[in-house]
């Protein structure tokens, strides 16, 4: 690579989250040093991590939390930055070879672009920003000179499977979906679902927003769009299949009918570590599959009637423009409102579909237009949630 970075150093953006914490486990496992660490708001949790990993720079998006952290870490050499600008500044100053982008939502986009101008490799866990503005962000990462490696388990599986053939010979990508905790339920049965029920994912342990997205199959819809951008494939060449066991992480079907898959136990640390060590492999942290105990691997067609956000994502992908950005932003708000008990489980799909239909625009969209569409979608989704929930 054409830049000077310190070997075996990682910057972790979103270090207090599910992916962020697992990235720190992986850093321990491969003996990597942490250069920059960032978090949103939880300064208490973040302080403990800063004391353990001793980053050169720690940044928090929340200014008050950053101010508290600065006082708390006054006895250390750690430079503390605050605010969204502070997170971006930290990314602009990193000297790490690799950056793991584990901030959730659109907030990941600016630090991701800044880190791409500094790091050798961007290990991309965030999906919302890619869904909303994939073309623009991937272009910016390339211009920044960094290599992009996917961390999302399905996309890591596809990335690994693609190595067994030529890109021109790929017929389709097959994304596996666990189906979430409500697999097999009909739409009528879904209305009574509470946040606690939606947060109990059968196979993966993740942050709350993505866990609810999984329960609605919205996450899989996002992943179709994510795959479209990451692998330059049209949405109609990306298939979703429900696979309850979460052992086959995704597959690639080649022209001759051969299907190549990547398998393993459901543990994000494998995908995170692979993104960091690719093309090498190191001793992993995940439990090994025991073939004597796996009696069957099942595959089903997704139920698009009960889970309408999956077909909505395909439709948004086909329409292009700001549709995916509007859908993703509306989902972020609607899931938040659901988790706060303000709207019901099925209302989330109604808010997301309603806002997407009404405020999405097709045709070319600039990055600024996408940001504007994202902002408007949030306002509209909040309004619609308030109407549905009967809030004042």
CB 126 within 8 A of CB 104: yes
Burial 240-255 (b: 16+ CB within 10 A, else e): bbbbbbbbbbbbbbbe
Residues 221-250 that bind ligand NAD (CB under 6 A): none
Judged by phi (left if over 0) then psi (alpha if -120 to 50, else beta), residue 31 lies in left
Interface with Mg ion: number of residues (CB under 5 A): 3
- What CA–CA distance (Å, rounded) separates 254 from 168? 9
Q: Which two tokens stand for residue 229?
A: 């951008």
Interface with ligand NAD: number of residues (CB under 6 A): 27
How long a stretch of residues is the chain? Answer: 392
Measured over the CA atoms of residue 148, residue 149, residue 153 and residue 157, the dihedral's sign is: positive
Q: Closest residue to ligand NAD, Cβ-based?
A: 17
Q: Which stretch binds ligand NAD (CB under 6 A): 123-131, 133-141, 276-284, 295-303?
A: 123-131
Burial 63-95 (b: 16+ CB within 10 A, else e): eebbebbbebbeeeebbbbbebebbbbbbebbb
Q: Which stretch binds Mg ion (CB under 5 A): 81-89, 144-152, 229-237, 371-379?
A: 144-152
Residues 22-51 that bind ligand NAD (CB under 6 A): 38-40
According to the binding rule CB under 5 A, does residue 128 interact with Mg ion?
no
Q: Which stretch binds ligand NAD (CB under 6 A): 49-57, 199-207, 240-248, 288-296?
A: 199-207
CB 42 within 8 A of CB 61: no
CB closer to Mg ion out of 26 and 66: 26
Q: Closest residue to Mg ion, Cβ-based?
A: 152
> Do β-strands 248-254 and 259-263 pair in parallel, antiparallel, or remain unpaired?
antiparallel
CB closer to Mg ion out of 111 and 150: 150
According to the binding rule CB under 6 A, does residue 275 interact with ligand NAD?
no
According to the binding rule CB under 5 A, does residue 337 interact with Mg ion?
no
CB closer to ligand NAD out of 104 and 176: 104
Residues in contact with ligand NAD by the rule CB under 6 A: 14-20, 38-40, 61, 87, 102-104, 107, 125-128, 152, 204, 206-207, 209-210, 268
């Amino acid at each position: 690579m054409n830049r000077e970075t310190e070997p075996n150093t990682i910057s972790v953006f979103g270090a207090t989250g599910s992916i962020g914490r697992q990235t720190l486990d992986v850093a321990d496992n491969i003996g990597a040093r942490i250069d920059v660490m960032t978090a949103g708001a939880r300064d208490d949790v973040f302080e403990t991590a800063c004391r353990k990993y001793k980053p050169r720079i720690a940044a928090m998006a929340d200014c008050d939390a950053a101010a508290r952290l600065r006082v708390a870490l006054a006895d250390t050499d750690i430079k503390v930055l605050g605010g969204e600008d502070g997170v971006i500044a930290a990314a602009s100053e990193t000297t790490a070879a690799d950056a793991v982008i584990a901030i959730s939502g659109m907030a990941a986009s600016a630090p991701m672009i800044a880190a791409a101008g500094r790091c050798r490799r961007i290990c991309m866990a965030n999906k919302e920003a890619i869904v909303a503005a994939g073309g623009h962000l991937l272009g910016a990462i390339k211009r920044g000179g960094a290599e992009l490696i996917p961390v999302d388990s399905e996309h890591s599986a596809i990335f690994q499977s693609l190595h067994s053939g030529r890109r021109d010979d790929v017929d389709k990508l097959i994304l596996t979906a666990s189906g979430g905790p409500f697999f097999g339920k009909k739409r009528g049965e879904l209305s009574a679902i509470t946040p606690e029920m939606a947060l109990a994912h059968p196979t993966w342990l993740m942050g709350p927003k993505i866990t609810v997205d999984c329960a609605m199959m919205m996450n899989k819809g996002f992943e179709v769009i994510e795959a479209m951008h990451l692998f330059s494939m049209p949405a109609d060449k990306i298939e979703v299949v429900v696979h309850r066991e979460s052992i086959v992480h995704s597959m690639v079907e080649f022209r001759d009918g051969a299907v190549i898959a990547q398998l393993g136990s459901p543990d994000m640390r494998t995908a995170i570590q692979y993104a960091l060590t690719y093309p090498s492999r190191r001793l992993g942290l995940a439990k090994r599959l025991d073939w004597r105990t796996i009696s069957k691997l099942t595959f089903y067609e997704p139920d698009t009637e009960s889970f309408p956000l999956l077909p909505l994502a395909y439709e948004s992908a086909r329409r292009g423009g700001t549709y995916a950005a509007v859908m993703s932003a509306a989902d972020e708000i609607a899931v938040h409102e659901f988790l706060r008990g303000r709207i019901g489980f099925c209302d989330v799909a109604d808010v997301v579909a309603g806002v997407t239909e009404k405020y999405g625009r097709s045709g070319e969209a600039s990055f600024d237009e996408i940001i504007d569409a994202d902002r408007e979608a949030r306002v509209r989704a909040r309004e619609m949630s308030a109407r549905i929930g009967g809030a004042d």
